[in-house]
Amino acid sequence: MRTLVFDGRTGAAGDMICAALIAAGADPDALAPVSDALPVRYAVGEVEKNGIRATTVDVLVDDRTVETDGDHDHGHDHDHGHDHGHDNDPSTSGSDEPAEGAGVHRSYREVVDLVESMGLPPAVESTALDAFELLGRAEASVHGTDLDETHFHEVGADDAIADVVGAALLLADLGPERVVTTPVAAGGGTVEMSHGTYPVPAPATTEIASRAGFRIAGGPIDRELLTPTGAAILGAVADGFDAVPDLAVERAGYGAGDADFERHPNVLRALVGDGGEPGPDGDREKRDDDRARAGQPVDGRLAHDDIAVLETNLDDAAPEVLGGLQETLSRAGARDVTIVPTTMKKSRPGHLVKVICKPADAEAVAERLARETGTLGVRQSGASHRWIADRAFETATLRVDGEDHEVDVKVASTTDGEVYDVSGEYDDAAAVAEATGLPIREVLRRVEAEVREQLPREQGGR
């Protein structure tokens, strides 16, 4: 298996990842789609770090050189003393002055829309969006905001987008079958951010690390070594290994960071070769758990789905109103409505209404719930996501007395396609039962058995 290994013992940032990929054999010309979509151009050069020749990547924006990692106040002040040996737009001249966080600072949704508008190959777009989703979820968790409304600061600027999309393009050009990373050094000390001074790793980096499929380590110096952008890129593409796996190395490359350290070369090493097969099942299970926490699909697991849960207590709602909530709230964006009989103050009978919806629809659903029931308040509970099955519908044909009757059957499966439930739609089954005289449960039994018979054995078929 052709494997790419990142060895992050002195950290990782967006520019270091791009540089390491180029040093390992990726073609810098693969970066052209970013320059076509944004007012940026890349410059690739070389520098020596503690005796190691390493590749550098700068992004030039509006005739200024910009560090490709968006987190400029996070300790990665770019060293411009190296020679820019490659420029993917040689006709454009620019200075070497840094422009930190240049361009528009965008929300998560605006970044997604921009990436989707670039016309990237599907695999590249998916990688970039996965990285930005990790960043978005981290920021939303740290600041207590909804994902779609999360506003990026530095990582929503042009240079950071060039970082993430550039890494995705270079990775696709290099073409490994698998990407892994050793534990990544986070550094130590404190970091200055727009909101104040924080301990290293920064809050967003810490949150990404809790969701990503790799481990971080403190040190080896008191300096921020792993940025949120670097962590998100690695989290989107790499599985974690405790050490460099067995590998027949074909090529090794080094991507340089900004600072110079006395005893530690500030470089990210990339190794490409044959090997890197999965380790023991225990290691695989840990990586699956890590990816599940990140909201990324894992074989044999359920899929991650962001939700909001709304609740209200009612003690005077008419039965007709309660009966209509499923339809009226669904039109406002509700995914599920549950009404539970309960006992309220002074032992009065009442109802608890619980509604599941997407976070972006929560306000509209709450307003509709209030208008329909007259409740004086709707609360949002602490749930932020749910685990759901991949769902598909099959049509089963039931032949009774020479006539065919169709029933929709819902097939629920894990992310790797293993079917664990087959359920006929009740309303369809009831209609067939009415027409044929069969019991509803017999109709359901037959159509569910028909669908199971059609499933491949590896998916749970017979």
Two tokens, residue 50: 């503690």
Two tokens, residue 23: 């040093």
pLDDT at position 396 is: 92
Q: Sorting pLDDT into bands at 50, 70 and 90, what band is 386? A: low
Q: Does the pLDDT value for residue 20 go beyond 70? A: yes
Provide the β-strand partners of residue 303.
Answer: 388
Q: Sorting pLDDT into bands at 50, 70 and 90, what band is 348? A: confident
For 15, 34, 139, 164, 172, the CA distances from 55, given in Å and listed in that order, are 10, 20, 30, 17, 19
Exposure b/e, 442-451, CB count within 10 A at least 16 = b: ebbebbbebb
Q: Which residues contact 346 (CB under 8 A, 6 or more apart)?
A: none
Lowest mean pLDDT among 28-32, 214-218, 397-401: 214-218
Q: Does the pLDDT value for residue 253 go beyond 60? A: yes
Q: Where do we find the tokens 């009740």?
A: 426
Q: For residues 209 and 188, what is the distance between their CA atoms, to the nearest angstrom?
A: 15
Provide the β-strand partners of residue 82.
Answer: none
Q: Sorting pLDDT into bands at 50, 70 and 90, what band is 208? A: confident
Q: Side chain identity at 83, as an amino acid letter?
A: D
Two tokens, residue 262: 């006395």
Q: Does the pLDDT value for residue 363 go beyond 60? A: yes
For 147, 336, 357, the CA distances from 307, given in Å and listed in that order, are 10, 11, 6
Two tokens, residue 63: 């005739």
Lowest mean pLDDT among 189-198, 321-330, 393-402, 436-445: 189-198
The answer to whether the CB of 297 falls within 8 A of the CB of 126 is no
pLDDT at position 460 is: 54
**Residue % of the chain over a pLDDT of 70:** 78
Two tokens, residue 4: 């790419």
Please tell me the number of Cα atoms within 13 Å of 211 on its side-chain side. Answer: 30
**Residue % of the chain over a pLDDT of 90:** 42
Could you report the per-residue pLDDT of 269-322, keeping only the tens digit for each? 999 999 866 544 334 444 455 454 444 444 456 666 678 899 999 988 888 889
Two tokens, residue 438: 């069969």
Q: For residues 332 and 360, what is the distance between their CA atoms, to the nearest angstrom?
A: 11
For 7, 49, 230, 265, the CA distances from 10, given in Å and listed in that order, are 8, 12, 12, 7
Q: Sorting pLDDT into bands at 50, 70 and 90, what band is 155? A: low
Task: Tell me the torsion sign for CA atoms 28, 34, 36, 41.
Answer: negative
Mean pLDDT score across all residues of the chain: 81
What is the side-by-side order of every strand in the sheet holding 419-424?
390-400, 403-413, 419-424
Two tokens, residue 185: 């050094």
Domains parsed from the chain with CATH numbers: 2-63+97-274 (no CATH), 305-387 (3.30.70.1380), 389-454 (3.10.20.300)
**What is the three-state SS of the chain?**
CEEEEEECCCCECHHHHHHHHHHCCCCHHHHHHHHHHCCEEEEEEEEEECCEEEEEEEEEECCEEECCCCCHHHCCCCCCCCEEEEECCCCCCCCCCECCCCCCCCEHHHHHHHHHCCCCCHHHHHHHHHHHHHHHHHHHHHHCCCHHHCECCHHHCHHHHHHHHHHHHHHHHHCCCEEEECCEEEECCEEEECCEEEECCCHHHHHHHHHCCCCEEEECCCCECECHHHHHHHHHHCEECCCCCCEEEEEEEEEECCCCCCCCCCEEEEEEEEECCCCCHHHHHHHHHHHHHCCCCCCCCCEEEECEEEEEEECCCCHHHHHHHHHHHHHHCEEEEEEEEEECHHHCEEEEEEEEECHHHHHHHHHHHHHHHCCCCCEECCCCEEEECEEEEEEEEEEECCEEEEEEEEEEECCCCCEEEEEECHHHHHHHHHHHCCCHHHHHHHHHHHHHHHCCHHHCCC
Q: Where do we find the tokens 């590896």?
A: 458
Q: For residues 292 and 312, what is the distance between their CA atoms, to the nearest angstrom?
A: 31
Q: For residues 158 and 155, what is the distance between their CA atoms, to the nearest angstrom?
A: 8
Could you report the per-residue pLDDT of 52-85, keeping only the tens digit for each? 999 999 887 655 444 444 333 333 333 333 333 3
386: left (phi over 0), alpha (psi -120 to 50) or beta: beta
pLDDT at position 125 is: 93
Query: 91 versus 403: which is more confidently predicted?
Result: 403
Q: Sorting pLDDT into bands at 50, 70 and 90, what band is 109? A: confident
